[in-house]
Amino acid sequence: MEQQNQDWLKLDNAAKIYPASSSTKSPAQFRLSVTLTSPVKFDILQKAWESMIKRCPYFQVYLRRGFFWYYLQRHQNIPPIELLDPVPVSIFQLKRKTTHLIRIGVRENTIALDFSHIITDGNGGMRFMLALIYEYLRLTGSKIEKLKEIPYPDEEPSPEEFEDAHRKFFPGNLPQPESLSSAFHISGKPLANNNFNLISGKLPLDKFLNLARKNQVSTTEYLTALYIFSLMEISRQESSKNNLRKSVIRMQVPVNMRKFHSSQTMRNFSLYVSPEIDLKLGKFSFEEILKKVYHSMQIQIDSKELGRQVSRNVGGELNPFVRAVPLFLKNLYMADLYRRLGEKCYSGVLSNLGPIAIPDTAKQFIKAFDVMIVPNHGMKKSCAVLSFGNELLINFCSVVESRELERLFFTKLVESGIPVSVREV
């Protein structure tokens, strides 16, 4: 039977680690939102929401526990539209039966979608949100051109939308990626009740692109280098406390694998590259960091290099011994694997969704897009980036009180001649 006609669905390869590793301190959750030029009409949004969630059954699911693996069960109910919180303070309760893995919130002109990484990545989430906005605007009577590569409610879901692209493009047994050492983590007093705050920076995209081009790097490479530079400054401030026991500053930068393989999957299909510096080599100038980040990412963002990660991840899943191990033992192994390959190896995460492209006929109805990654308590902060029109948005979310990282990051941009508007939520 085709997967789209089933009431259940296997977790994709990238999602398999999250049920064992996710918690209130490591939620694997992100938010996408759009602000319209006029207040949201709730009754019309309700119709659009119901149409789209039924059209995309791989999102209308909850997590269930099997004997060997977790799987996704089709939910009988549609998530209700909630009053939007400024930041997603409500974490998906995975251990609670029938918990939806997608949430929608509305306030005034803004519509927000919260996603668990168990069901999708940033690309799949953004395509779904654009589809929802398109259907909402269509139902309001707005005449807009169709967008590319999004699901439409009058179309049947294609098998490709459901596919586990990691397994589909499994390259066979390749040499394992190099193991990563533990990385430097900033310290700081945690916010109360596992809450987190948001510091958002907006800057003119054209001015920033001129700066990046002047340095012959991409937006992601420049911002990643700036993040590492800011962490280095904090590490030097804290050096008397940590004595450089963890001297490596290493970033986790997601890469959309759809750029390398033709796939329309709406599920997870991302991997990571890991540019780094080692502070035992001495102090780095920003220009030195930028050079290292550029060359490191140019080497790592390669289909063969990234294929080593796919080979490791999918190869482990296909191992006959692993497949035969009961789930409770797999959970122990997966949680340990996440500790060894996850948060402890990275100082920070920076995810750039890139430019949001919509038809000119739709731009008159949309004021802004937004993105945020719910931070974990290992790396303490997260950074999410996107651009729309001539605005570059940089959102830092933090579980600690200190704003030093954000201050250093945005101050360096201003010193480079880029005007930045900063607000805190």
* 307 lies in some domain: no
* 187 lies in some domain: no
In angstroms, the first-to-last Cα distance of the chain is 48
Q: How far apart are CA 376 and CA 395, in angstroms?
A: 15
Pair of tokens at residue 366: 């949309």
Task: List % helix, strand, coil for the chain (3-state, nearest 5).
Answer: 40, 25, 35
Crossing angle of helices 286-300 and 303-318, rounded to 10°: 60
Q: Residue 242: pLDDT above 60?
A: no
Q: What is the mean pLDDT of the segment spanning 318-330?
A: 82
State pLDDT tens for residues 143-190. Answer: 999 888 899 999 999 999 999 999 999 999 999 898 899 999 999 999
β-strand 197-204 against 102-107: which pairing, if any? unpaired
Among 86, 126, 125, 135, smallest CA distance to 106 is for 86
Do residue 394 and residue 285 come from a single domain?
yes
State pLDDT tens for residues 349-396. Answer: 999 999 999 999 999 999 999 999 999 988 999 999 999 999 999 999
Do residue 405 and residue 282 come from a single domain?
yes
Do residue 162 and residue 200 come from a single domain?
no
Do residue 142 and residue 21 come from a single domain?
yes
Range in 131-140, 273-282, 326-335 the model is least confident about: 326-335
So what's the pLDDT on residue 314?
A: 92
Edge to edge, what strands does the sheet with 102-107 contain? 81-83, 102-107, 110-116, 29-36, 366-373
Q: Residue 311: pLDDT above 80?
A: yes
* 330 lies in some domain: no
* 323 lies in some domain: no
Q: Residue 207: pLDDT above 70?
A: yes
Q: How far apart are CA 409 and CA 386, in angstroms?
A: 17
Q: Residue 127: pLDDT above 50?
A: yes
Q: Which helix (H) or strand (E) holds 170?
A: none
Q: How confident is the model at residue 78 (pLDDT cuts 50, 70, 90)?
A: very high
Pair of tokens at residue 255: 């890469």
Contact predicate 393/370, CB 8 Å: yes
386 forms bridges with which residues in the sheet? 393
* 319 lies in some domain: no
Do residue 118 and residue 16 come from a single domain?
yes
Do residue 211 and residue 257 come from a single domain?
yes
| Residue 319 or 364, more confident | 364
Among 116, 113, 86, smallest CA distance to 99 is for 116
* 309 lies in some domain: no
Helices assigned H by DSSP within 56-103:
none
Contact predicate 364/267, CB 8 Å: no
Range in 46-55, 87-96, 227-236, 364-373 the model is least confident about: 87-96
Do residue 32 and residue 148 come from a single domain?
yes
CATH number of the domain that residue 115 is part of = 3.30.559.10
Do residue 131 and residue 208 come from a single domain?
no
b (16+ CB within 10 A) / e for 29-66 = bbbbbbbbeeebeeebbbebbebbbebbbbbbbbbeee
Q: What is the mean pLDDT of the segment spanning 203-226?
A: 98
Per DSSP, the three-state class of 300 is helix
Do residue 117 and residue 237 come from a single domain?
no
So what's the pLDDT on residue 101?
A: 96
What's the residue count for the chain?
425
So what's the pLDDT on residue 331?
A: 82
| Residue 119 or 97, more confident | 119
* 364 lies in some domain: no
CATH number of the domain that residue 295 is part of = 3.30.559.30
Is the overall model pTM greater than 0.85, yes or no? yes
What is the C-alpha radius of gyration for the chain, rounded to an integer number of angstroms? 21
Contact predicate 151/157, CB 8 Å: yes
So what's the pLDDT on residue 136?
A: 97
Q: What share of the chain has pLDDT > 90, as a percent? A: 76
So what's the pLDDT on residue 193?
A: 76
Q: Residue 4: pLDDT above 90?
A: no
Do residue 126 and residue 239 come from a single domain?
no
DSSP letter for each residue of 384-406: EEEEETTEEEEEEEESBS--HHH
**Which structural domain range is residue 49 located in?**
3-168
Contact predicate 224/297, CB 8 Å: yes
Q: Residue 1: pLDDT above 60?
A: no
Count: domains in the chain: 2
Contact predicate 151/131, CB 8 Å: yes
Of 117, 133, 168, which closes a domain?
A: 168
Q: Residue 244: pLDDT above 80?
A: no
* 367 lies in some domain: no
Do residue 11 and residue 151 come from a single domain?
yes
Do residue 83 and residue 117 come from a single domain?
yes
Q: How far apart are CA 138 and CA 142, in angstroms?
A: 5
Q: How far apart are CA 36 and CA 144, in angstroms?
A: 14
- Between vectors from CA 10 to CA 7 and to CA 14, what angle results, nearest 5°? 145
Range in 12-16, 107-111, 210-214 the model is least confident about: 12-16
So what's the pLDDT on residue 240?
A: 55
Q: What is the mean pLDDT of the segment spanning 259-286?
A: 95
